[in-house]
Structure 1
């Protein structure tokens, strides 16, 4: 059984060898809820770390060790946020052409460069 989009869910943790872990399911089980909780925790910690990094860098007085530790923690947080974004993006439904407004009067003007259409925001 897979998620509503028919794909496996990339989990917010890795296996023993650092390989990605995936979950097949409908998104309502215990592991899905655990993954949701872990994602929320990781995003919260990334937000707190961002604020801390801003304060450290604003002071303009730091040691090389402090900067190294900050870089390590920021790299870890960025990795977690990236994994969450990839996981959530993969679970988004793919809209049909009708949902994108293809063929309506807003997409009739070509940009003259490569035959593509300009982006229209409504």
Structure 2
């Protein structure tokens, strides 16, 4: 098992929205692979939402309700993405390589996200 400071932050919360952690020496365990898959989905959702946001914000006649829903979705997605970044950042500092599922490359934001 891993030491307390080496616990993996999982991409979901427990009861009362408390963080969940995984303690394992096997990065290929069922729970590790599930967490990797969920992280990948969350990053893909963030990418798609970023594309959608660019479309909505380009519409000069965008409905205020649609803008509010977009802001809510972006805030939720950012929260999930920050959790993934925090988890992966910890694993990089600990000598792991959390981007194996992307062929060793960190995910890149879409080009239009940078302006």
Q: Does the pair score TM above 0.5?
A: yes
How far 1:94 moved relative to its partner? Answer: 5.5
2:61 corresponds to which residue? 61
Aligned to 2:15: 16
CA distance in structure 1 between the partners assigned to 2:94 and 2:31 by the alignment: 25
TM norm structure 2: 0.76
Q: Which has the higher contact order (CA 8 A, sep 6+)?
A: 2
Higher Rg of the two aligned structures: 1
Off by >3 Å, runs of 4+ in structure 1: none
More helix per residue: 2
CA RMSD of aligned residues (A): 1.6
Q: For structure 2, which runs of at least 5 residues remain unmatched after alignment?
A: 96-115
- Number of matched pairs: 93
